[in-house]
Structure 1
Amino acid sequence: AVDISLATTTARLGEAVAIMASASLPMDHKLKLNLEASATDLYAISSVEEDSTAGGVSGSGGYRAILRIQLVPLAPGRLSVNLPWTLVEPGGQKPLAASSFELDVLEPEIEPDGALRDIKAPRRARPALWPWLLAALLGAALWWLWRRRGGAEKAFEAAKEEHRPADIIALEELAALEGSGLWAKGERKLFYSRLSEIIRRYLERRFDIAATRLTSSELNRQLRQAGMERGLVLLIKECFERGDLVKFSKMEASEPWGAADLRIARKLVAETSEKVPEPAGGNRP
């Protein structure tokens, strides 16, 4: 059996919870979390690491396998978590009983206002700021509507009108993103914003799906309906989830994420690009 230890049973939306899983195993066996079977829209597994300090089990000839897991809740309320396990043996692997537990997920904590201070001296009243704030909010709302409707539709049409192959365009854009140095400079939110746009534009060109107008979950459903291989859909889902965590939560991006998600994007392009048939007989003019 796999034992689960939680740092807390109460979590906040978008903030990682530390989980420790452990099991007594023979020396030539390994414990692995089945990430594909644990995929859900309610939470994301941001990292799974083996504890290198795990020691032997006295008198059994085995050892205590320990995995340290970071789980990020993506929905508030009572959250049921189900972690399916795989036992890796010398001759193959087999499923183990899943570990189940519950978390109480709270809304994000609002930063408190600063402490009140004594008034030093009378000051002239500043001009009212609310008209400017209202104008800014209105402008943001209009931009969102344009992006959601007209602007996204124009982007969709522009993507379709590009005459070069979709895979060539996407690979050029991925190379430019990698060479931009955004990840190395710590501009992780901008990196993921651009990566998401590149992937979505590629999907628009390749599958005629208005990907820039869809949420991540809507896009995943469309890709499954289009017949894309399930493992590839899950990889894209994990890539988008990591991007959302970096862009919209307090979570810091793990250093390997950038290179890993660039590989996922290139894998998507390689496995879904339209193949040009070879000339008959394999001879080229």
Structure 2
Amino acid sequence: MNRLIPLLAVWLVVAALVVAAPAWAQAPAPAPAPATTEQVEPRNLSVRLEPQQVRIGDPFVYEVVITHPKDHRYELKVPQETGDFEFLDQTRQRQDGPDSATTTFRVRMSAFALGSVAVPALPFDVATPEGPKAFTVPGRTVDVTSTLSPDAEGQGADLFDYKPPEEVPIRSWRLVLTVLGVLAAALLAWVLFRWWRNRPKHVEVVPTLPLDVRARKALDALKAEDLPSRGRVKDFYFRLSEIIRGYLGERYGFEALECTSSELMASLRRLSTPGLPEDKLMRFVSESDMVKYARADASADACRDALAFGYSLIDTTYVPPPPPQAPDNAAAPRVQ
């Protein structure tokens, strides 16, 4: 009986909030304060619009070329409010140099206002060794012309402007959902507190498996999915290429996942790679690129041979690390 009284009181509060929610929901919620992130400046910046003058509704390309340190990574955040523009798609391409990297973004968009229209600023998330930072490319202007001929207005083919937006009142249950969320969070906090007090004191640390074991387990999982028989040859080669690149990068100590095919082979030739079947690896890289990017087809036998190459690559190149040596002053075993 003592436990039912608090639960009954909680449900009475929730019922009262549901009844009063339509009146309370009319009050606008305060906007959260935006979080500030430290800005970073690239080494060089180039911005270009192609073309400079477009017709209303026609797509154009907003190209941004950023030169930055090699340990920085730029990712474009599409603005939530695009105004008179529509973002269609974007591409990202990175090229590493000796002491810096160049990342090129090509954003395709279209405008729906006439005249000299300001393109929205492009915000970027920047991952650096010091932590996440931000960078913003200021907006540019593009000349937007009409799709009608100059004498269209005289011939009666005028354009009508867009109707301005109107406010539409909508019943909101935000306050009720907020209260229910607070109650659920309080219940979850109480459960977590009980678990924290009664948690097991001994935590077993699972050691990391060796590289060859992890790579073979990934190949076994890919083999079990049997993607080629399900018509997913392209997905099969993407997964297999990622496994092999990840193995080579960890085995020889370089960033293989970010390299192009030519950069991958060039990096391996600069390193000491005893036992590496370079010709077979080059053949596999070319074959996987044809399937992934040129839409080439691959037979079931070719997929099976490519998977077998992954296993043989591990067998011929992996060298187990030497066992840890005992210190010089370690006690010798006693003779029985």
Q: How high is the TM-score relative to the length of structure 1?
A: 0.42
The structure with more strand, counted as a fraction of residues: 1
